[in-house]
């Protein structure tokens, strides 16, 4: 029997401009190459403590309970739901996209009584309708998605949190596509439990889910009549590991190194400057899209700066455009799904991927790919973006 040959790995060069992962900074790759230590080593906990403090900075919170769960962003979502959903108790979800639906399903599986307020994908809830819904239902938990990756919409949360606290509910916010690229502002907004992921605005490989929990929510957790159904994602058990240094699971020191370095890069850049970088690049991208004669799916003022959703022109097959970009230019973007399947492109400009050079490049290559599929742009998207970037720099 012949022995199979396995040559060294040679992944293709890709420019990641989809909904995640984003490009990884060289210093984060260097951190990944550092020697591994055990999950109970004193050095591991030194790094974990630095991560805890840095997460407070990025989440804009004074919460003491900040940690990175071993798992992707969905593990952060499930941890938030599993720890605060209670069987037979009302769990309210504001639904305007795919990830709100995922929260709904997780809450149902925990036995909660789920109540929903719904909007079409890409629209956001105004203050009054959110307040009325929460005051009427009087739930135990309110959940919303701050940055809806499926549609490209940003949901303001201050009114949601105020109404929830009036009825003694805790608030869960999905910040998976906003953390590190847009103002999350946990304390100012009034969010009780926020979670994200490592691979989007933080520009780290996937594998960790940053979570922050307010003292108010921690008190709710401590007084639960029964422990959460999930042992692995029990936040109190995880806290005894990271804070009490008692064995819980074998966390990856390597991934913790990477996250620590990614957070240090954010600290060095300055969180406000980072937000401003994402905003400027987003606005330049939109200027280019509109100059070409395309339109954005989400209304101005409600758009994510990190994840853009231009509408696919009529008569154009979005899959062919995306395939052309990947095969000819090595650029990854994504399409829509659910009710937005075939109707939008999802183009990420987040973390290390959010640069003026990438804005100009994707507009140039997208225009070429659209022309190949029969679309005739009104003007040059790249030229319009260059003008927008020049104006922003003045």
In tens, the pLDDT along 382-393 reads 999 999 999 877
Asked if residue 1 has pLDDT above 70, the reply is no
Number of domains within the chain: 2
Asked if residue 394 has pLDDT above 80, the reply is no
> Is 254 buried (19+), middle (13-18) or exposed (0-12) by CB count in 10 A?
middle
Asked if residue 216 has pLDDT above 70, the reply is yes
Tell me what pLDDT residue 392 has: 79
Q: Are residues 282 and 259 in the same domain?
A: no
Q: Are residues 303 and 354 in the same domain?
A: yes
Q: Are residues 161 and 32 in the same domain?
A: yes
> Is 4 buried (19+), middle (13-18) or exposed (0-12) by CB count in 10 A?
exposed
**Other Cβ atoms closer than 10 A to 126:** 11
Is 369 domain-assigned? yes
For residue 290, give the CATH number of its domain: 3.90.1150.10
Tell me what pLDDT residue 69 has: 98
Q: Are residues 258 and 322 in the same domain?
A: no
Q: Are residues 252 and 282 in the same domain?
A: no
Tell me what pLDDT residue 91 has: 98
309 and 344 Cβ atoms separated by less than 8 Å: yes
**Can you tell me whether residue 65 is helix, strand or coil?**
strand
In this predicted model, what pLDDT tens digit does every residue of 291-349 receive, in sequence order? 999 999 999 999 999 999 999 999 999 999 999 999 999 999 999 999 999 999 999 99
**Other Cβ atoms closer than 10 A to 360:** 20
To the nearest whole number, what is the mean pLDDT of the chain? 97
Mean pLDDT value across residues 42-53: 98
Is 10 domain-assigned? no
Is 131 domain-assigned? yes
pLDDT bin (cut points 50, 70, 90) of residue 367 is: very high
Q: Are residues 198 and 212 in the same domain?
A: yes
Is 291 domain-assigned? yes
Last residue of a domain, one of 237, 268, 299: 268
**Can you tell me whether residue 308 is helix, strand or coil?**
strand
Nearest 5°: CA angle at 337, between 333 and 342? 75
Q: Are residues 43 and 98 in the same domain?
A: yes
In this predicted model, what pLDDT tens digit does every residue of 48-77 receive, in sequence order? 999 999 999 999 999 999 999 999 999 999
Tell me what pLDDT residue 19 has: 98
Is 156 domain-assigned? yes
Is 9 domain-assigned? no
195 DSSP 8-state letter: E
**Can you tell me whether residue 171 is helix, strand or coil?**
strand
**Can you tell me whether residue 59 is helix, strand or coil?**
helix
Q: Are residues 141 and 254 in the same domain?
A: yes
Q: Are residues 332 and 237 in the same domain?
A: no
In this predicted model, what pLDDT tens digit does every residue of 252-277 receive, in sequence order? 999 999 999 999 999 999 999 999 99
In this predicted model, what pLDDT tens digit does every residue of 116-130 receive, in sequence order? 999 999 999 999 999
Task: Give residues with Cβ within 8 angstroms of 205, minimum separation 6.
Answer: 21, 24, 28, 32, 198, 199, 255, 258
Last residue of a domain, one of 239, 268, 297: 268
User: pTM for this one?
Assistant: 0.96
- Residue ranges in 115-270 assigned as alpha helix (H): 127-137, 158-166, 186-189, 215-222, 235-242, 253-269
Is 110 domain-assigned? yes
For residue 40, give the CATH number of its domain: 3.40.640.10
Tell me what pLDDT residue 185 has: 98
pLDDT bin (cut points 50, 70, 90) of residue 96 is: very high
Measured over the CA atoms of residue 357, residue 308, residue 51 and residue 162, the dihedral's sign is positive
Containing structural domain, residue 327: 270-393
Asked if residue 3 has pLDDT above 90, the reply is no
Mean pLDDT value across residues 276-291: 98
Asked if residue 243 has pLDDT above 80, the reply is yes
Last residue of a domain, one of 268, 299, 318: 268
Tell me what pLDDT residue 183 has: 98
- Least confident span in 1-15, 157-171, 306-320: 1-15
- Measured between alpha carbons, how far is 10 from 23 in angstroms, rounded to an integer? 17
- Measured between alpha carbons, how far is 116 from 107 in angstroms, rounded to an integer? 12
Is 21 domain-assigned? no
Q: Are residues 110 and 195 in the same domain?
A: yes
- Residue ranges in the chain assigned as alpha helix (H): 26-32, 42-59, 73-84, 98-109, 127-137, 158-166, 186-189, 215-222, 235-242, 253-269, 271-291, 318-329, 356-372, 381-393
Q: Are residues 213 and 76 in the same domain?
A: yes
Tell me what pLDDT residue 4 has: 84
Q: Are residues 61 and 201 in the same domain?
A: yes
């Amino acid at each position: 029997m012949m022995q199979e040959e396995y040559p060294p790995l040679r992944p293709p060069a890709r420019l990641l401009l989809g909904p995640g992962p984003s490009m990884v900074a060289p210093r984060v790759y260097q951190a990944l190459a550092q020697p591994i230590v055990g999950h109970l080593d004193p050095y591991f906990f030194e790094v974990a403590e630095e991560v805890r403090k840095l997460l407070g900075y990025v989440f804009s919170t004074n919460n003491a309970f900040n940690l990175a769960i071993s798992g992707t962003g969905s593990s952060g979502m499930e941890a938030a739901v599993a720890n605060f959903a209670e069987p037979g108790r009302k769990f309210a979800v504001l639904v305007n996209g795919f990830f709100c639906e995922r929260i709904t399903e997780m809450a149902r599986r925990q036995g909660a009584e789920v109540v929903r307020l719904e909007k079409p994908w890409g629209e956001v809830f105004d203050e009054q309708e959110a307040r009325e819904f929460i005051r009427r239902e009087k739930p135990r938990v309110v959940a919303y998605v701050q940055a809806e990756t499926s549609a490209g919409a940003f949901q303001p949360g201050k009114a949601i949190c105020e109404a929830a606290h009036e009825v003694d509910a805790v608030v869960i916010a999905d910040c998976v596509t906003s953390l590190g690229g847009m103002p999350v502002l946990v304390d100012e907004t009034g969010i009780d439990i926020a979670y994200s992921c490592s691979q989007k605005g933080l520009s780290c490989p996937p594998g960790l889910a940053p979570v922050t929990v307010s003292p108010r929510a921690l008190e709710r957790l401590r007084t639960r009549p029964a422990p959460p159904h999930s042992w692995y994602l029990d936040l109190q058990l995880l806290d005894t590991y990271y804070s009490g240094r008692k064995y819980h699971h074998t966390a990856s020191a390597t991934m913790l190194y990477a996250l620590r370095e990614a957070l240090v890069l954010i600290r060095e850049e300055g969180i406000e400057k980072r937000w401003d970088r994402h905003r400027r690049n987003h606005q330049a991208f939109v200027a280019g899209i509109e100059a070409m004669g395309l339109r954005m799916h989400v209304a101005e003022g409600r758009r994510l700066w990190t994840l853009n959703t231009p509408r696919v022109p009529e008569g154009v097959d979005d899959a062919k455009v995306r395939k052309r970009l990947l095969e000819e230019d090595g650029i990854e973007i994504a399409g829509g799904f659910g009710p937005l399947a075939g109707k939008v492109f999802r183009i990420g400009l987040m973390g290390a991927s959010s640069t003026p050079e990438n804005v100009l490049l994707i507009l140039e290559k997208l225009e070429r790919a659209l022309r190949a599929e029969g679309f005739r742009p009104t003007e040059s998207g790249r030229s319009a973006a260059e003008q927008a970037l020049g104006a922003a720099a003045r």
